[in-house]
């Protein structure tokens, strides 16, 4: 690994991905002020040499240090880096299983946007859905592991809502 990280650009990329697991290429491009072609080349190089892992959800590629995060955790982290899925997860963690209409009220987004994210989260096994009478209820597949990931990512997400969630979750855990 040391040989792969001898170049300054690769070291910068690796350090950024280590501090911000699940980050995507455009975010790295902005934060590192690195041309996209150069960034893409170094990311591919590090993936081929097992320094980084890539998680492709069909929409974007997220990058992780090779030795961290199992497949399910990588899928969850990729979702948590996006605002709407992160808000859905925090709502369900704090309020419990929720219907589409309850989530729609909380998210303040278009029905199609919410539907898109919920379907992706179910397909990626972050959420599970259960039909009760005429309504679909959404819950987390593993709420404690998801909460732990959210709290572990708190600094790299730099989101006030995540900080507030971590405080509330900590208080609930003490009860």
Full-model pTM: 0.75
Would you say domain 4-67 falls under CATH 1.10.10.10? yes
Contact between 110 and 87 (Cβ < 8 Å): no
Domain spans of the chain, in order of start: 4-67, 76-174
* CA distance linking residue 114 with residue 88, whole number of Å: 9
CATH of 76-174, one of 3.30.1360.40, 3.40.718.10, 1.25.40.10, 1.10.10.10: 1.10.10.10
Q: What digits encode the pLDDT tens for the residues 22-34?
A: 888 999 999 999 9
Q: Is 175 helix (H, G, I), strand (E, B) or coil?
A: coil
* Per-residue pLDDT tens over the stretch 149-170: 888 887 777 666 666 666 666 6
């Amino acid at each position: 690994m040391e040989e792969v990280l001898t170049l300054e650009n690769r070291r910068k990329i690796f350090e950024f991905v280590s501090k911000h697991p699940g980050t995507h290429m455009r975010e790295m491009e902005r934060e590192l002020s690195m041309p996209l072609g150069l960034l893409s080349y170094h990311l591919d190089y590090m993936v081929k040499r097992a320094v980084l892992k890539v998680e492709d959800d069909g929409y974007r590629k997220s990058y992780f240090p090779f030795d961290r995060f199992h497949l399910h955790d990588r899928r969850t982290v990729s979702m948590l880096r996006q605002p709407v899925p992160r808000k859905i997860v925090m709502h369900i963690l704090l309020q419990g299983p929720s219907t589409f209409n309850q989530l729609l009220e909380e998210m303040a987004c278009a029905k199609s946007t919410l539907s898109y994210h919920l379907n992706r989260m179910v397909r990626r096994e972050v959420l599970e859905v259960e039909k009760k009478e005429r309504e679909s209820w959404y819950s987390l597949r593993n709420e404690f592991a998801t909460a732990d990931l959210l709290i572990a990512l708190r600094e790299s997400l730099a989101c006030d809502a995540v900080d507030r969630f971590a405080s509330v979750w900590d208080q609930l855990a003490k009860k």
